[in-house]
Amino acid sequence: MSTSEFPGWHGTTIIGVKKGGEVVIAGDGQVSLGQTVIKGTARKVRRLSPGGYDVVAGFAGSTADAFTLLERLETKLEATPGQLARASVDLAKDWRTDKYLQKLEAMLIVTDGDDLFVITGAGDVLEPEHDVTAIGSGGNYALAAARGMMDSDRNAEQVARDAMAIASDICVYTNGNLTVETIRK
Protein backbone atom coordinates (compact mmCIF):
# COMPACT_ATOMS: atom_id res chain seq x y z
CA MET A 1 0.00 0.00 0.00
CA SER A 2 1.51 3.35 -0.96
CA THR A 3 1.53 6.24 1.49
CA SER A 4 -1.05 8.05 -0.63
CA GLU A 5 -3.44 5.10 -0.14
CA PHE A 6 -2.75 4.76 3.60
CA PRO A 7 -5.46 6.51 5.64
CA GLY A 8 -3.01 8.43 7.82
CA TRP A 9 -2.92 9.06 11.54
CA HIS A 10 -5.11 11.87 12.75
CA GLY A 11 -5.87 13.29 16.07
CA THR A 12 -4.70 15.45 18.83
CA THR A 13 -5.49 18.80 20.14
CA ILE A 14 -2.88 20.52 22.29
CA ILE A 15 -3.45 23.90 23.92
CA GLY A 16 -1.15 26.22 25.85
CA VAL A 17 -2.60 28.94 28.09
CA LYS A 18 -0.62 31.56 30.01
CA LYS A 19 -2.62 33.47 32.60
CA GLY A 20 -2.32 34.72 36.16
CA GLY A 21 1.23 33.52 36.84
CA GLU A 22 0.73 30.03 35.50
CA VAL A 23 1.12 28.29 32.17
CA VAL A 24 -0.90 25.19 31.35
CA ILE A 25 -0.44 22.80 28.48
CA ALA A 26 -3.27 20.33 27.95
CA GLY A 27 -3.72 17.62 25.36
CA ASP A 28 -6.38 15.07 24.54
CA GLY A 29 -5.75 11.33 24.45
CA GLN A 30 -7.22 10.21 21.13
CA VAL A 31 -5.21 8.60 18.35
CA SER A 32 -7.12 7.73 15.18
CA LEU A 33 -6.22 5.77 12.06
CA GLY A 34 -8.53 6.90 9.30
CA GLN A 35 -12.02 6.81 10.81
CA THR A 36 -11.09 4.39 13.59
CA VAL A 37 -10.09 5.36 17.12
CA ILE A 38 -6.98 3.31 17.89
CA LYS A 39 -6.35 4.62 21.41
CA GLY A 40 -8.17 7.03 23.68
CA THR A 41 -5.63 7.41 26.49
CA ALA A 42 -2.40 8.55 24.82
CA ARG A 43 -0.19 11.01 26.76
CA LYS A 44 0.78 13.82 24.41
CA VAL A 45 1.88 16.26 27.10
CA ARG A 46 5.16 15.61 28.90
CA ARG A 47 7.16 17.23 31.67
CA LEU A 48 10.88 17.46 30.90
CA SER A 49 13.40 18.23 33.63
CA PRO A 50 16.86 18.55 32.10
CA GLY A 51 19.20 19.49 34.94
CA GLY A 52 16.30 20.26 37.28
CA TYR A 53 14.95 22.90 34.90
CA ASP A 54 11.19 22.39 34.47
CA VAL A 55 9.76 22.45 30.94
CA VAL A 56 6.40 21.16 29.72
CA ALA A 57 5.93 20.10 26.10
CA GLY A 58 2.87 18.97 24.15
CA PHE A 59 3.01 17.46 20.70
CA ALA A 60 0.77 16.92 17.70
CA GLY A 61 1.61 14.74 14.74
CA SER A 62 3.48 11.48 14.42
CA THR A 63 4.28 10.08 17.86
CA ALA A 64 7.67 8.66 16.89
CA ASP A 65 8.59 11.95 15.24
CA ALA A 66 7.44 13.92 18.28
CA PHE A 67 9.51 11.74 20.64
CA THR A 68 12.56 12.32 18.44
CA LEU A 69 11.96 16.07 18.69
CA LEU A 70 11.40 15.92 22.45
CA GLU A 71 14.71 14.08 22.90
CA ARG A 72 16.47 16.69 20.76
CA LEU A 73 14.83 19.50 22.73
CA GLU A 74 15.93 17.94 26.00
CA THR A 75 19.51 17.75 24.68
CA LYS A 76 19.35 21.43 23.66
CA LEU A 77 18.00 22.37 27.10
CA GLU A 78 20.82 20.47 28.82
CA ALA A 79 23.32 22.44 26.70
CA THR A 80 21.62 25.79 27.49
CA PRO A 81 20.04 25.39 30.96
CA GLY A 82 17.32 27.91 31.74
CA GLN A 83 17.22 29.22 28.16
CA LEU A 84 14.09 27.80 26.56
CA ALA A 85 14.07 30.39 23.75
CA ARG A 86 17.63 29.57 22.72
CA ALA A 87 17.06 25.80 22.92
CA SER A 88 13.86 26.16 20.87
CA VAL A 89 15.55 28.22 18.17
CA ASP A 90 18.45 25.75 18.03
CA LEU A 91 15.99 22.86 17.65
CA ALA A 92 14.04 24.70 14.93
CA LYS A 93 17.27 25.42 13.03
CA ASP A 94 18.31 21.78 13.19
CA TRP A 95 14.81 20.66 12.21
CA ARG A 96 14.85 22.89 9.15
CA THR A 97 18.36 22.07 7.95
CA ASP A 98 18.99 18.42 8.89
CA LYS A 99 17.90 16.03 6.11
CA TYR A 100 16.69 13.41 8.61
CA LEU A 101 14.79 15.88 10.81
CA GLN A 102 13.17 17.60 7.80
CA LYS A 103 11.04 14.51 7.25
CA LEU A 104 9.57 14.61 10.77
CA GLU A 105 5.88 15.42 10.91
CA ALA A 106 5.01 16.94 14.26
CA MET A 107 4.63 20.26 16.06
CA LEU A 108 5.43 21.18 19.64
CA ILE A 109 4.10 23.62 22.23
CA VAL A 110 6.67 24.23 24.97
CA THR A 111 6.83 26.33 28.13
CA ASP A 112 9.09 26.92 31.09
CA GLY A 113 6.49 29.00 32.92
CA ASP A 114 7.88 32.25 31.56
CA ASP A 115 7.84 31.69 27.82
CA LEU A 116 5.29 29.86 25.68
CA PHE A 117 6.33 28.78 22.17
CA VAL A 118 5.12 26.77 19.19
CA ILE A 119 7.99 25.05 17.36
CA THR A 120 7.41 23.92 13.76
CA GLY A 121 9.34 21.98 11.14
CA ALA A 122 9.44 25.08 8.96
CA GLY A 123 12.02 26.55 11.33
CA ASP A 124 9.51 28.67 13.23
CA VAL A 125 9.56 29.43 16.94
CA LEU A 126 6.34 31.33 17.49
CA GLU A 127 5.36 33.19 20.64
CA PRO A 128 1.58 33.48 20.58
CA GLU A 129 -0.34 36.70 20.88
CA HIS A 130 -3.00 36.83 23.58
CA ASP A 131 -1.10 34.24 25.69
CA VAL A 132 -2.87 31.25 24.16
CA THR A 133 -1.94 28.85 21.37
CA ALA A 134 -3.15 25.51 20.07
CA ILE A 135 -2.07 22.90 17.53
CA GLY A 136 -3.45 19.72 16.03
CA SER A 137 -6.67 18.72 14.35
CA GLY A 138 -8.88 20.52 16.87
CA GLY A 139 -6.40 23.31 17.53
CA ASN A 140 -8.36 26.09 15.85
CA TYR A 141 -11.51 25.19 17.81
CA ALA A 142 -9.62 25.14 21.12
CA LEU A 143 -7.79 28.36 20.26
CA ALA A 144 -11.00 30.24 19.43
CA ALA A 145 -12.72 28.97 22.58
CA ALA A 146 -9.77 29.87 24.81
CA ARG A 147 -9.38 33.32 23.31
CA GLY A 148 -13.02 33.95 24.11
CA MET A 149 -12.44 32.99 27.77
CA MET A 150 -9.18 34.84 28.47
CA ASP A 151 -10.96 37.90 29.93
CA SER A 152 -13.14 35.77 32.21
CA ASP A 153 -12.50 34.92 35.86
CA ARG A 154 -11.26 31.45 34.86
CA ASN A 155 -7.66 30.57 35.69
CA ALA A 156 -5.30 29.14 33.05
CA GLU A 157 -6.23 25.52 33.80
CA GLN A 158 -9.96 26.23 33.65
CA VAL A 159 -9.54 28.04 30.32
CA ALA A 160 -7.53 25.13 28.92
CA ARG A 161 -9.97 22.48 30.17
CA ASP A 162 -13.06 24.35 28.97
CA ALA A 163 -11.50 25.08 25.56
CA MET A 164 -10.53 21.42 25.17
CA ALA A 165 -14.08 20.37 26.06
CA ILE A 166 -15.40 22.60 23.28
CA ALA A 167 -12.83 21.28 20.80
CA SER A 168 -13.69 17.66 21.68
CA ASP A 169 -17.37 18.39 21.02
CA ILE A 170 -16.54 19.68 17.53
CA CYS A 171 -13.48 17.75 16.28
CA VAL A 172 -13.99 14.01 15.72
CA TYR A 173 -10.22 13.46 16.15
CA THR A 174 -10.21 14.93 19.69
CA ASN A 175 -11.55 13.36 22.88
CA GLY A 176 -12.11 14.60 26.41
CA ASN A 177 -9.47 12.40 28.06
CA LEU A 178 -6.96 15.12 29.01
CA THR A 179 -3.40 15.25 30.22
CA VAL A 180 -2.82 18.60 31.90
CA GLU A 181 0.54 19.94 33.11
CA THR A 182 0.96 23.29 34.89
CA ILE A 183 3.96 25.44 35.71
CA ARG A 184 3.37 28.20 38.24
CA LYS A 185 5.69 31.20 38.64
Of the residues 12, 133, 179, 182, only one is catalytic, namely 12
Burial class for 99, CB neighbours closer than 10 Å (0-12, 13-18, 19+)? exposed
Q: Is 68 a catalytic residue?
A: no
Residues 6+ apart with CB under 8 A from 88: 73, 76, 110, 117, 119, 125
Please state whether beta strands 31-33 and 36-39 pair in parallel, antiparallel, or not at all (unpaired).
antiparallel
N- to C-terminal Cα distance for the chain?
50
Residue numbers annotated as active site: 12
